[in-house]
A and B are shown apart, each in its own frame.
Chain A
Amino acid sequence: MHSKASLTLALGIMAVSAYAIVAAWAWPLKAALFPLAIAGPLFCLAAAEALWGIFGAAPAGEVRDFRLSTELPREEARRRTLVALAWILGFFAAIVLLGFPYAVPLLVFLYVKLQGRESWPLSIVLTLAVWAVFYGLFDRLLHLPFAAGWLFAFLR
Chain B
Amino acid sequence: MIDAFYEGLLLVLQWKTLAFMSLGIVLGFWVGLLPGLGGATTLALMLPFIYTMQPVQAFAFLLGMHAVVATTGDITSVLFGVPGEGTSAATILDGHAMAKKGEAGRALGAALTSSLVGAIVGAFALALAVPVVRPVVLTFGSPELFMLAIVGLAFIASLSSQGGRGMLRGFLAGGLGLLCATVGQDPQAGVARFTFDALYLWQGLELVPVLVGIFAIPEIVGLVVRRTSIAGAVPAGKLNQGAWEGVKDTFRHFWLTIRCSLIGTFIGIMPGMGGAIAQWMAYGHATQSARNAEERKGFGAGDVRGVLGPGAANNSKEGGALIPTVAFGVPGSSAMAILLGGFFLLGLVPGPDMLTTHLSVTFSMVWTIVLANIITVLVCFAFLNKLAKLTAVRGALLIPVILVLVFIGSYTATNHYGDILVMLLFGGIGYLMVLGGWPRAPFVLGLVLGKIAENYLYISIARYEAAWLTRPVVLVLMALTLGVVLYPLYQSRRAGVKKAAHA
> In the complex, are the beta carbons of A61 and B224 less than 8 A apart?
no
> In the complex, are the beta carbons of A10 and B172 less than 8 A apart?
yes
For window 345-402 of chain B, which residues contact chain A by CB distance below 8 Å?
A: 394-397, 399-401
Which of B182, B222, B287, B436 has the most chain A CB atoms closer than 10 A to its own CB? B436
Q: How far is the CB of A102 from chain B (nearest CB, A)?
A: 13
Of all chain B residues, the one with the shortest Cβ separation from A134 is B404
For window 19-44 of chain A, which residues contact chain B by CB distance below 8 Å?
A: 20, 23-24, 27-28, 30-31, 33-35, 37-39, 41-42
Determine if A85 is an interface residue (Cβ-Cβ < 8 Å): yes
> In the complex, are the beta carbons of B492 and A61 less than 8 A apart?
yes
Contact pick for B432, options A5, A67, A77, CB 8 Å: A5
Choose, from B107-115, B155-163, B310-318, B469-477, the stretch at the interface.
B155-163
The secondary structure that dominates the A interface is: helix
Chain A residues contacting B129 (CB-CB under 8 Å) are: none
Of all chain A residues, the one with the shortest Cβ separation from B222 is A68
Which of A2, A35, A80, A89 has the most chain B CB atoms closer than 10 A to its own CB? A35
Chain B residues contacting A8 (CB-CB under 8 Å) are: 432, 436
Determine if B403 is an interface residue (Cβ-Cβ < 8 Å): yes
Q: How far is the CB of A93 from chain B (nearest CB, A)?
A: 11
> In the complex, are the beta carbons of B403 and A88 less than 8 A apart?
yes
Measured between alpha carbons, how far is A28 from B191 in the docked complex, in Å?
A: 8
> In the complex, are the beta carbons of A38 and B179 less than 8 A apart?
yes
> In the complex, are the beta carbons of B96 and A66 less than 8 A apart?
yes
Measured between alpha carbons, how far is A54 from B464 in the docked complex, in Å?
A: 44
Q: How far is the CB of A99 from chain B (nearest CB, A)?
A: 11
> In the complex, are the beta carbons of B186 and A61 less than 8 A apart?
no
Of all chain A residues, the one with the shortest Cβ separation from B225 is A80
Q: How far is the CB of A155 from chain B (nearest CB, A)?
A: 19
> In the complex, are the beta carbons of B166 and A60 less than 8 A apart?
yes
Measured between alpha carbons, how far is A112 from B412 in the docked complex, in Å?
A: 25
Interface size of A by CB at 8 A reads 79
Contact pick for B165, options A37, A60, A145, CB 8 Å: A60
> In the complex, are the beta carbons of A41 and B397 less than 8 A apart?
no
Chain A residues contacting B434 (CB-CB under 8 Å) are: 65-68
Chain B residues contacting A100 (CB-CB under 8 Å) are: 407-408, 411
Measured between alpha carbons, how far is A20 from B193 in the docked complex, in Å?
A: 9
For window 193-207 of chain B, which residues contact chain A by CB distance below 8 Å?
A: 193-194
> In the complex, are the beta carbons of B438 and A6 less than 8 A apart?
yes
Chain B residues contacting A124 (CB-CB under 8 Å) are: none
Measured between alpha carbons, how far is A117 from B395 in the docked complex, in Å?
A: 12
| B205-242 Cβ-contact flags toward A at 8 Å (1 or 0) | 00000000000011111101111000000000000000
Chain B residues contacting A16 (CB-CB under 8 Å) are: 176, 179
Q: How far is the CB of B118 from chain A (nearest CB, A)?
A: 21
Determine if B175 is an interface residue (Cβ-Cβ < 8 Å): yes
> In the complex, are the beta carbons of A64 and B161 less than 8 A apart?
yes
> In the complex, are the beta carbons of A31 and B165 less than 8 A apart?
no
Chain A residues contacting B175 (CB-CB under 8 Å) are: 13, 17, 38, 41-42, 45
Determine if A153 is an interface residue (Cβ-Cβ < 8 Å): no
- A residues whose Cβ falls under 8 Å from a Cβ of B: 1-6, 8-10, 13, 16-17, 20, 23-24, 27-28, 30-31, 33-35, 37-39, 41-42, 45-46, 48-49, 52, 58-69, 71-72, 77, 80-81, 83-85, 87-89, 91-92, 95-96, 100, 104, 107-108, 111-112, 115-118, 122, 126, 130, 134, 138, 142, 144-147
Q: 5 nearest interchain CB pairs? A: A116-B396, A61-B162, A61-B163, A64-B300, A5-B436
